[in-house]
Amino acid sequence: MIELDFKAWQSLQRLYLDYADHVDAARWDDWVACFTDDADYKIQPRENFERGLPLATLSLTSKGMLKDRAYGISHTLFHDPYYQRHVVSAPLVREVQGGLIHCEANYAVFRTKYDGESTVFNVGRYLDQVISTPDGFKFRRRWCIFDSEMVPNSLIYPI
């Protein structure tokens, strides 16, 4: 079993909580701030991930690309408005190697349209690499591996 000291565990938990809060509250600049400059963010179907196939629904390979996505969400994309709510398990630390924490967590994302209908939008797991920076823990890699083979309608917001 891999263990972190209590302070590191709290910081890791805080990163996971902040991430979900930023996305659910549509605070896109804060979402971007959860990542390192060389971030790797991907949303990929489980089938492709398990088969080693590279096709992903969304793949952003730098903080600059994350900023572009945040700008697009808040300034250029038009869609049927909805709220998003994340339920995320506590992270399971798989390995700590050279200052890099390899961890994963299960997630469920619910979508509520303004007319009041709530549905399960996306369910899966995060496969993460987290690193300590002078500004606290940041995601070096966040891969969102979703269980279903289809995403209903469209994927506007990060998972």
CATH number for 72: 3.10.450.50
Does 156 map to a domain? no
Predicted confidence at residue 106, as pLDDT, reads 98
For 104-146, the pLDDT digits (tens) are: 999 999 999 888 889 999 999 999 999 999 999 999 999 999 9
For 9-62, the pLDDT digits (tens) are: 999 999 999 999 999 999 999 999 999 999 999 999 999 999 999 999 999 999
pLDDT above 70 covers a percentage of the chain that reads: 96
Q: Using CA atoms, how far apart are residues 154 and 5, in angstroms rounded to an integer?
A: 40
Give me the number of domains the chain comprises: 1
Does 96 map to a domain? yes
Does 152 map to a domain? no
Per-residue pLDDT at 2 exceeds 90: no
Does 121 map to a domain? yes
Does 155 map to a domain? no
Does 151 map to a domain? no
CA atoms within 13 A on the CB side of 62: 3
Does 110 map to a domain? yes
Beta carbons within 10 angstroms of residue 14's beta carbon = 12
Containing structural domain, residue 56: 6-146
Does 10 map to a domain? yes
The pLDDT confidence band at residue 83, using thresholds 50, 70 and 90, is confident
pTM: 0.93
37: burial class by Cβ within 10 Å (0-12, 13-18, 19+)?
exposed
